[in-house]
Protein backbone atom coordinates (compact mmCIF):
# COMPACT_ATOMS: atom_id res chain seq x y z
CA UNK A 1 0.00 0.00 0.00
CA UNK A 2 1.49 3.33 -0.99
CA UNK A 3 -0.71 5.52 1.17
CA UNK A 4 0.14 5.37 4.88
CA UNK A 5 -2.51 3.70 7.03
CA UNK A 6 -4.37 5.92 9.46
CA UNK A 7 -6.34 9.14 9.07
CA UNK A 8 -4.50 12.39 9.72
CA UNK A 9 -6.43 12.87 12.95
CA UNK A 10 -4.87 9.70 14.35
CA UNK A 11 -1.52 11.45 14.15
CA UNK A 12 -2.81 14.07 16.58
CA UNK A 13 -3.21 11.53 19.36
CA UNK A 14 -0.36 11.22 21.84
CA UNK A 15 0.98 7.70 22.35
CA UNK A 16 -1.13 5.65 24.78
CA UNK A 17 0.28 6.56 28.16
CA UNK A 18 0.64 3.12 29.58
CA UNK A 19 1.87 1.35 26.41
CA UNK A 20 5.60 1.69 27.11
CA UNK A 21 5.12 0.88 30.80
CA UNK A 22 3.02 -2.19 29.96
CA UNK A 23 5.79 -3.51 27.73
CA UNK A 24 8.38 -3.01 30.47
CA UNK A 25 6.19 -4.78 33.01
CA UNK A 26 5.67 -7.70 30.64
CA UNK A 27 9.43 -7.97 30.05
CA UNK A 28 10.25 -7.87 33.76
CA UNK A 29 7.55 -10.38 34.68
CA UNK A 30 8.83 -12.69 31.95
CA UNK A 31 12.26 -12.39 33.56
CA UNK A 32 10.78 -13.48 36.90
CA UNK A 33 10.67 -10.08 38.66
CA UNK A 34 7.88 -9.76 41.28
CA UNK A 35 6.19 -6.58 40.06
CA UNK A 36 3.53 -4.81 42.14
CA UNK A 37 1.29 -2.55 40.10
CA UNK A 38 -0.22 0.61 41.55
CA UNK A 39 -0.65 1.85 38.00
CA UNK A 40 -4.13 1.48 36.63
CA UNK A 41 -7.27 2.25 38.66
CA UNK A 42 -9.25 -0.94 38.16
CA UNK A 43 -10.99 -2.33 41.26
CA UNK A 44 -9.42 -5.62 42.39
CA UNK A 45 -12.42 -6.93 44.33
CA UNK A 46 -15.26 -8.67 42.46
CA UNK A 47 -18.65 -7.26 41.48
CA UNK A 48 -21.02 -7.71 44.47
CA UNK A 49 -22.93 -11.05 44.33
CA UNK A 50 -26.42 -9.53 44.19
CA UNK A 51 -25.48 -7.79 40.92
CA UNK A 52 -23.92 -10.93 39.46
CA UNK A 53 -27.01 -12.94 40.48
CA UNK A 54 -29.33 -10.47 38.74
CA UNK A 55 -27.16 -10.69 35.64
CA UNK A 56 -27.44 -14.47 35.74
CA UNK A 57 -31.23 -14.39 35.83
CA UNK A 58 -31.48 -11.55 33.28
CA UNK A 59 -29.38 -13.46 30.77
CA UNK A 60 -31.91 -16.30 30.95
CA UNK A 61 -34.74 -13.94 29.94
CA UNK A 62 -35.11 -14.01 26.13
CA UNK A 63 -36.51 -10.48 26.34
CA UNK A 64 -32.98 -9.22 26.99
CA UNK A 65 -31.45 -10.81 23.90
CA UNK A 66 -32.43 -8.47 21.09
CA UNK A 67 -31.17 -5.07 20.03
CA UNK A 68 -31.67 -2.69 22.91
CA UNK A 69 -33.07 0.78 22.30
CA UNK A 70 -30.50 3.56 22.66
CA UNK A 71 -32.90 5.23 25.07
CA UNK A 72 -32.52 2.30 27.42
CA UNK A 73 -35.11 0.27 29.26
CA UNK A 74 -37.71 2.14 31.26
CA UNK A 75 -36.52 0.19 34.32
CA UNK A 76 -32.94 1.40 33.82
CA UNK A 77 -33.89 5.04 33.37
CA UNK A 78 -36.23 4.86 36.37
CA UNK A 79 -33.46 3.33 38.48
CA UNK A 80 -31.03 6.12 37.57
CA UNK A 81 -33.71 8.72 38.32
CA UNK A 82 -34.50 7.01 41.63
CA UNK A 83 -30.84 6.90 42.62
CA UNK A 84 -30.30 10.57 41.74
CA UNK A 85 -33.36 11.54 43.78
CA UNK A 86 -32.47 9.50 46.88
CA UNK A 87 -28.76 10.06 46.85
CA UNK A 88 -28.32 13.59 45.49
CA UNK A 89 -31.74 15.23 45.81
CA UNK A 90 -31.69 15.74 42.03
CA UNK A 91 -34.89 15.43 39.98
CA UNK A 92 -34.40 13.79 36.59
CA UNK A 93 -37.11 13.12 34.00
CA UNK A 94 -36.52 9.53 32.84
CA UNK A 95 -38.10 10.39 29.47
CA UNK A 96 -35.84 13.27 28.46
CA UNK A 97 -32.93 13.63 30.88
CA UNK A 98 -31.31 10.16 31.01
CA UNK A 99 -29.61 8.05 28.32
CA UNK A 100 -27.58 4.90 29.07
CA UNK A 101 -23.87 5.05 28.24
CA UNK A 102 -21.49 2.16 27.62
CA UNK A 103 -19.35 3.53 30.44
CA UNK A 104 -18.22 7.08 31.09
CA UNK A 105 -15.37 6.78 28.59
CA UNK A 106 -17.71 6.11 25.67
CA UNK A 107 -19.96 8.96 26.78
CA UNK A 108 -17.12 11.46 27.05
CA UNK A 109 -15.61 10.49 23.69
CA UNK A 110 -18.96 10.67 21.90
CA UNK A 111 -20.08 13.90 23.57
CA UNK A 112 -17.24 15.61 21.71
CA UNK A 113 -18.68 14.38 18.41
CA UNK A 114 -22.16 15.48 19.39
CA UNK A 115 -21.24 18.93 20.70
CA UNK A 116 -18.09 20.29 19.04
CA UNK A 117 -17.35 21.80 15.64
CA UNK A 118 -13.83 22.05 14.22
CA UNK A 119 -12.07 25.01 15.83
CA UNK A 120 -14.20 24.93 18.98
CA UNK A 121 -12.31 24.84 22.25
CA UNK A 122 -12.86 22.23 24.96
CA UNK A 123 -11.62 23.33 28.39
CA UNK A 124 -10.10 20.28 30.05
CA UNK A 125 -9.14 19.72 33.68
CA UNK A 126 -5.35 19.34 33.81
CA UNK A 127 -4.23 16.91 35.16
CA UNK A 128 -7.23 14.88 34.03
CA UNK A 129 -8.70 11.81 32.41
CA UNK A 130 -6.98 11.66 28.99
CA UNK A 131 -10.26 11.48 27.01
CA UNK A 132 -10.99 15.15 27.94
CA UNK A 133 -8.18 16.13 25.56
CA UNK A 134 -7.99 13.24 23.08
CA UNK A 135 -11.75 13.27 22.50
CA UNK A 136 -11.74 16.88 21.26
CA UNK A 137 -8.63 16.20 19.12
CA UNK A 138 -10.43 13.36 17.34
CA UNK A 139 -13.20 15.70 16.19
CA UNK A 140 -10.96 18.54 15.02
CA UNK A 141 -11.61 20.68 18.08
CA UNK A 142 -8.95 22.18 20.30
CA UNK A 143 -8.47 20.98 23.88
CA UNK A 144 -7.12 23.71 26.15
CA UNK A 145 -5.69 22.70 29.50
CA UNK A 146 -7.34 24.23 32.55
CA UNK A 147 -4.68 23.77 35.23
CA UNK A 148 -5.91 22.44 38.57
CA UNK A 149 -4.11 24.59 41.13
CA UNK A 150 -2.80 22.77 44.23
CA UNK A 151 -3.18 25.94 46.33
CA UNK A 152 -6.86 26.12 45.28
CA UNK A 153 -7.50 22.54 46.35
CA UNK A 154 -6.96 21.35 42.79
CA UNK A 155 -9.72 23.52 41.37
CA UNK A 156 -9.11 25.48 38.18
CA UNK A 157 -8.74 29.26 38.41
CA UNK A 158 -11.65 30.24 36.16
CA UNK A 159 -10.52 33.87 36.06
CA UNK A 160 -7.21 32.79 34.52
CA UNK A 161 -8.78 31.41 31.33
CA UNK A 162 -7.75 33.83 28.54
CA UNK A 163 -10.57 35.79 26.86
CA UNK A 164 -9.67 34.63 23.35
CA UNK A 165 -9.83 31.00 24.47
CA UNK A 166 -13.09 31.58 26.28
CA UNK A 167 -14.74 33.13 23.23
CA UNK A 168 -14.15 29.89 21.32
CA UNK A 169 -14.86 27.55 24.20
CA UNK A 170 -17.95 25.36 23.91
CA UNK A 171 -17.54 22.77 26.63
CA UNK A 172 -15.77 22.43 29.98
CA UNK A 173 -14.74 19.15 31.58
CA UNK A 174 -14.61 18.92 35.35
CA UNK A 175 -14.41 15.88 37.65
CA UNK A 176 -14.87 15.63 41.44
CA UNK A 177 -14.04 13.53 43.41
CA UNK A 178 -11.07 13.96 41.12
CA UNK A 179 -8.89 11.52 39.25
CA UNK A 180 -5.89 11.78 39.58
CA UNK A 181 -5.59 14.24 42.51
CA UNK A 182 -8.26 12.84 44.87
CA UNK A 183 -9.59 16.39 45.38
CA UNK A 184 -13.22 16.92 46.41
CA UNK A 185 -15.53 19.94 46.42
CA UNK A 186 -16.25 21.47 49.83
CA UNK A 187 -16.99 25.07 48.84
CA UNK A 188 -19.09 26.97 46.29
CA UNK A 189 -17.03 25.88 43.26
CA UNK A 190 -20.00 24.30 41.45
CA UNK A 191 -22.05 27.51 41.96
CA UNK A 192 -19.20 29.51 40.46
CA UNK A 193 -18.99 27.09 37.52
CA UNK A 194 -22.72 27.47 36.81
CA UNK A 195 -22.44 31.29 36.80
CA UNK A 196 -19.30 31.13 34.65
CA UNK A 197 -20.92 28.76 32.14
CA UNK A 198 -24.00 30.98 31.90
CA UNK A 199 -21.93 34.07 31.32
CA UNK A 200 -19.73 32.43 28.69
CA UNK A 201 -22.28 30.16 27.01
CA UNK A 202 -20.45 26.95 27.94
CA UNK A 203 -21.75 23.42 28.32
CA UNK A 204 -20.40 21.88 31.51
CA UNK A 205 -19.66 18.16 31.50
CA UNK A 206 -19.15 16.88 35.02
CA UNK A 207 -17.52 13.45 35.10
CA UNK A 208 -19.07 11.83 38.14
CA UNK A 209 -17.20 8.51 38.13
CA UNK A 210 -16.33 8.62 41.86
CA UNK A 211 -19.32 10.15 43.66
CA UNK A 212 -19.79 7.12 45.90
CA UNK A 213 -16.15 6.62 46.85
CA UNK A 214 -15.20 8.96 49.66
CA UNK A 215 -13.71 8.91 53.15
CA UNK A 216 -13.69 10.56 56.56
CA UNK A 217 -17.39 11.36 56.48
CA UNK A 218 -17.23 13.35 53.25
CA UNK A 219 -20.26 12.83 50.96
CA UNK A 220 -19.83 14.02 47.37
CA UNK A 221 -22.56 16.12 45.78
CA UNK A 222 -23.81 15.82 42.23
CA UNK A 223 -22.99 18.85 40.07
CA UNK A 224 -26.67 18.76 39.08
CA UNK A 225 -27.70 19.51 42.66
CA UNK A 226 -26.34 23.03 42.14
CA UNK A 227 -29.13 25.53 41.34
CA UNK A 228 -29.16 26.21 37.58
CA UNK A 229 -26.75 23.36 36.75
CA UNK A 230 -29.26 21.57 34.54
CA UNK A 231 -29.53 24.73 32.40
CA UNK A 232 -25.82 24.63 31.60
CA UNK A 233 -24.72 21.05 31.73
CA UNK A 234 -24.83 17.36 32.22
CA UNK A 235 -23.23 14.75 34.37
CA UNK A 236 -21.63 11.52 33.20
CA UNK A 237 -22.44 8.85 35.77
CA UNK A 238 -20.70 5.48 35.87
CA UNK A 239 -21.26 2.23 37.72
CA UNK A 240 -17.69 1.08 37.03
CA UNK A 241 -15.85 2.14 40.17
CA UNK A 242 -18.83 2.25 42.54
CA UNK A 243 -19.90 -1.36 42.03
CA UNK A 244 -16.65 -2.92 40.75
CA UNK A 245 -18.24 -3.16 37.31
CA UNK A 246 -15.46 -1.81 35.08
CA UNK A 247 -15.82 -4.73 32.67
CA UNK A 248 -19.60 -4.43 32.36
CA UNK A 249 -19.67 -1.03 30.61
CA UNK A 250 -22.54 0.67 32.38
CA UNK A 251 -23.16 4.36 32.94
CA UNK A 252 -25.47 7.17 31.94
CA UNK A 253 -25.53 10.70 30.57
CA UNK A 254 -27.96 12.76 32.65
CA UNK A 255 -29.08 16.37 32.91
CA UNK A 256 -29.77 19.07 30.34
CA UNK A 257 -32.39 17.61 27.95
CA UNK A 258 -30.96 19.29 24.83
CA UNK A 259 -27.50 17.90 25.46
CA UNK A 260 -28.98 14.50 26.31
CA UNK A 261 -30.95 14.60 23.03
CA UNK A 262 -27.82 15.45 21.02
CA UNK A 263 -25.97 12.57 22.65
CA UNK A 264 -28.89 10.21 21.94
CA UNK A 265 -29.08 11.28 18.29
CA UNK A 266 -25.37 10.66 17.86
CA UNK A 267 -25.58 7.28 19.60
CA UNK A 268 -28.30 6.06 17.25
CA UNK A 269 -25.65 6.31 14.53
CA UNK A 270 -22.74 4.81 16.44
CA UNK A 271 -23.83 1.86 18.57
CA UNK A 272 -26.94 -0.15 19.35
CA UNK A 273 -27.29 0.43 23.04
CA UNK A 274 -26.48 -1.43 26.22
CA UNK A 275 -27.14 -5.18 26.58
CA UNK A 276 -30.47 -5.28 28.40
CA UNK A 277 -29.25 -7.88 30.88
CA UNK A 278 -26.53 -5.41 31.90
CA UNK A 279 -29.23 -2.77 32.26
CA UNK A 280 -31.18 -5.05 34.62
CA UNK A 281 -28.05 -5.89 36.63
CA UNK A 282 -27.41 -2.14 36.86
CA UNK A 283 -30.93 -1.62 38.20
CA UNK A 284 -30.18 -4.18 40.91
CA UNK A 285 -26.97 -2.32 41.78
CA UNK A 286 -28.61 1.11 41.95
CA UNK A 287 -31.59 -0.13 43.97
CA UNK A 288 -29.55 -2.21 46.42
CA UNK A 289 -28.98 -1.09 50.02
CA UNK A 290 -25.50 0.17 49.02
CA UNK A 291 -23.86 -1.95 51.74
CA UNK A 292 -21.27 -3.16 49.20
CA UNK A 293 -20.27 0.44 48.52
CA UNK A 294 -19.78 1.18 52.21
CA UNK A 295 -17.66 -1.97 52.61
CA UNK A 296 -15.54 -1.01 49.62
CA UNK A 297 -14.91 2.48 50.96
CA UNK A 298 -13.66 0.91 54.22
CA UNK A 299 -11.19 -1.18 52.21
CA UNK A 300 -9.94 1.77 50.17
CA UNK A 301 -9.66 4.00 53.25
CA UNK A 302 -7.50 1.42 55.01
CA UNK A 303 -5.25 1.16 51.97
CA UNK A 304 -5.13 4.94 51.62
CA UNK A 305 -3.89 5.25 55.19
CA UNK A 306 -1.25 2.55 54.72
CA UNK A 307 0.13 4.30 51.67
CA UNK A 308 -0.14 7.87 52.95
CA UNK A 309 1.54 6.96 56.27
CA UNK A 310 4.38 5.22 54.45
CA UNK A 311 4.92 8.11 52.04
CA UNK A 312 4.81 10.68 54.82
CA UNK A 313 7.30 8.64 56.83
CA UNK A 314 9.81 9.08 54.02
CA UNK A 315 9.07 12.78 53.72
CA UNK A 316 6.92 12.95 50.61
CA UNK A 317 4.32 15.09 52.40
CA UNK A 318 1.06 13.61 51.14
CA UNK A 319 -2.41 14.87 52.09
CA UNK A 320 -4.86 11.96 52.53
CA UNK A 321 -7.45 12.26 49.72
CA UNK A 322 -11.14 12.41 50.72
CA UNK A 323 -12.36 10.82 47.51
CA UNK A 324 -11.57 8.53 44.54
CA UNK A 325 -9.08 5.65 44.60
CA UNK A 326 -5.67 7.27 44.22
CA UNK A 327 -2.89 8.85 46.20
CA UNK A 328 -1.38 11.86 44.41
CA UNK A 329 2.11 12.62 45.66
CA UNK A 330 4.84 15.12 44.85
CA UNK A 331 8.05 13.47 43.67
CA UNK A 332 11.22 13.87 45.78
CA UNK A 333 13.54 16.85 45.18
CA UNK A 334 15.56 16.54 42.02
CA UNK A 335 13.21 14.05 40.35
CA UNK A 336 10.66 14.52 37.57
CA UNK A 337 7.44 12.54 37.20
CA UNK A 338 9.07 10.36 34.56
CA UNK A 339 12.42 9.88 36.32
CA UNK A 340 10.80 8.94 39.63
CA UNK A 341 8.35 6.55 37.94
CA UNK A 342 11.24 4.93 36.12
CA UNK A 343 13.32 4.67 39.29
CA UNK A 344 10.47 3.12 41.27
CA UNK A 345 9.90 0.57 38.52
CA UNK A 346 13.56 -0.25 37.97
CA UNK A 347 14.76 -0.32 41.58
CA UNK A 348 11.63 -1.21 43.58
CA UNK A 349 9.67 -3.20 40.96
CA UNK A 350 6.58 -1.09 41.70
CA UNK A 351 4.49 0.40 38.93
CA UNK A 352 3.18 3.92 39.52
CA UNK A 353 1.86 6.47 37.03
CA UNK A 354 3.78 9.63 36.13
CA UNK A 355 1.62 12.70 36.85
CA UNK A 356 2.70 14.21 33.54
CA UNK A 357 0.74 11.49 31.74
CA UNK A 358 -2.45 13.22 32.91
CA UNK A 359 -1.47 16.60 31.47
CA UNK A 360 1.25 19.25 31.82
CA UNK A 361 0.09 20.32 35.29
CA UNK A 362 0.68 16.79 36.54
CA UNK A 363 4.44 17.25 36.19
CA UNK A 364 6.18 16.88 39.55
CA UNK A 365 3.60 14.38 40.81
CA UNK A 366 2.94 10.66 40.63
CA UNK A 367 -0.30 8.74 41.05
CA UNK A 368 -0.65 5.53 43.00
CA UNK A 369 -3.80 3.48 42.76
CA UNK A 370 -5.47 1.84 45.78
CA UNK A 371 -6.80 -1.10 43.77
CA UNK A 372 -4.19 -3.56 45.04
CA UNK A 373 -4.70 -5.99 47.98
CA UNK A 374 -3.51 -4.69 51.38
CA UNK A 375 -0.51 -7.02 51.77
CA UNK A 376 0.84 -6.09 48.35
CA UNK A 377 0.26 -2.41 49.03
CA UNK A 378 2.23 -2.66 52.30
CA UNK A 379 5.02 -4.40 50.43
CA UNK A 380 5.00 -1.72 47.71
CA UNK A 381 5.14 1.06 50.31
CA UNK A 382 8.09 -0.63 52.05
CA UNK A 383 9.95 -1.02 48.77
CA UNK A 384 9.44 2.65 47.89
CA UNK A 385 10.53 3.69 51.40
CA UNK A 386 13.80 1.75 51.09
CA UNK A 387 14.40 3.33 47.73
CA UNK A 388 13.91 6.91 48.84
CA UNK A 389 15.95 6.39 52.02
CA UNK A 390 18.85 5.00 50.05
Ligand X SMILES: *Cc1c(COP(=O)(O)O)cnc(C)c1O
- Which letter, b or e, does each residue of 338-364 get, where b requires 16 or more Cβ atoms within 10 Å of its Cβ? eebbebbbeebbbbbbbbbbbbebbbb
Applying CB under 6 A, the span of 235-243, 265-273, 274-282, 376-384 interacting with ligand X comes to: 235-243
Residues 187-226 that bind ligand X (CB under 6 A): 207, 209
Rounded to the nearest whole angstrom, what is the least distance from the CB of residue 207 to ligand X in the complex? 5
**Of these, 129, 243, 264, 328, which contacts ligand X (CB under 6 A)?**
129
Residue 112 interacts with ligand X (CB under 6 A): yes or no: no
Query: Cα dist. 158→167, 194, 339 in Å?
Result: 14, 11, 32
Strand ranges for 74-135 from DSSP E:
98-101, 121-126
CA pair distance 126, 24, nearest whole angstrom? 26
Is residue 238 near ligand X by the rule CB under 6 A?
yes
CB of 18 to ligand X, least distance (A): 13
**Shortest CB 135 distance to ligand X, Å:** 11
Residue 230 CA to residue 297 CA, distance in Å, equals 29
270: left (phi over 0), alpha (psi -120 to 50) or beta: alpha
Q: Any contact of residue 358 with ligand X (CB under 6 A)?
A: no
- Nearest-CB residue to ligand X? 103
244 binds ligand X (CB under 6 A): no
Q: Which stretch binds ligand X (CB under 6 A): 9-17, 47-55, 99-107, 133-141?
A: 99-107
Q: What are phi and psi of 272, to 5 degrees?
A: -120, 35
- The least CB distance from residue 3 to ligand X, in Å, is 33
Give the x-and-dash track for 30-49 against ligand X (CB under 6 A). -----------x--------
Distance (Å, rounded) from C-alpha 221 to C-alpha 177?
A: 9
Identify which of residues 131 and 310 has a Cβ nearer to ligand X in the complex: 131
CA dihedral 21, 27, 33, 38 (to 10 degrees): 20
- 175 is an interface residue for ligand X by CB under 6 A: yes
Find the shortest distance in angstroms from Cβ 217 to ligand X: 22
Residue 27 in 3-state DSSP?
Answer: helix
* Whole-angstrom distance, CA of residue 217 vs CA of residue 360: 32
Nearer to ligand X, 70 or 175 (CB): 175
Q: Looking at the DSSP assignment, which residues form a beta bridge with residue 328?
A: 367
Interface with ligand X includes 179 (CB under 6 A)? Answer: yes
Q: How far is the CB of 382 from ligand X (least distance, A)?
A: 27
Binding mask of the shown chain, residues 264 to 303, with x at each position contacting ligand X by CB under 6 A: ----------------------------------------
Considering the rule CB under 6 A, would residue 251 count as an interface residue with ligand X? yes
Task: Identify whether the C-beta of residue 368 lies closer than 8 Å to the C-beta of residue 376.
Answer: no
Segment interacting with ligand X, rule: CB under 6 A, options 24-32, 149-157, 193-201, 233-241: 233-241
CB of 143 to ligand X, least distance (A): 15
Burial class (CB in 10 A: 0-12, 13-18, 19+), 385: middle
Residue 103 interacting with ligand X (CB under 6 A): yes
Size of the site for ligand X (CB under 6 A): 14
Question: Cα-flanking dihedrals φ and ψ of residue 329, to 5°?
Answer: -130, 145
Check binding of 240 to ligand X (CB under 6 A).
yes
Distance between CA atoms of 209 and 218, rounded to whole angstroms? 16
363: helix, strand or coil: coil
Asked if 105 interacts with ligand X (CB under 6 A), we say yes
CA distance 1 to 12: 22
Q: Does 246 bind ligand X (CB under 6 A)?
A: yes
Cα four-point dihedral sign 23, 26, 31, 32: positive
Report the interface residues with ligand X, using CB under 6 A: 41, 103-105, 129, 175, 179, 207, 209, 238, 240-241, 246, 251
Amino acid sequence: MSRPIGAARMGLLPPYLFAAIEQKIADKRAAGVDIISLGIGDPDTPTPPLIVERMRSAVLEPGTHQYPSNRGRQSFRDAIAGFYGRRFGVDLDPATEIIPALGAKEAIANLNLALLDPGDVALASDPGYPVYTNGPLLVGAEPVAMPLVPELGFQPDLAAIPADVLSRARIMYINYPNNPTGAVIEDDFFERVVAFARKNDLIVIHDNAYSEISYDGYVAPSFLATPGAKDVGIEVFSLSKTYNMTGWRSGAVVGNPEVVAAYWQLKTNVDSGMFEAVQEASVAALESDQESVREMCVIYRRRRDILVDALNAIGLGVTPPKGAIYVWARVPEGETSASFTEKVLEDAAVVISPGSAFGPSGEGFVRMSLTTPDDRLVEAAERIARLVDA
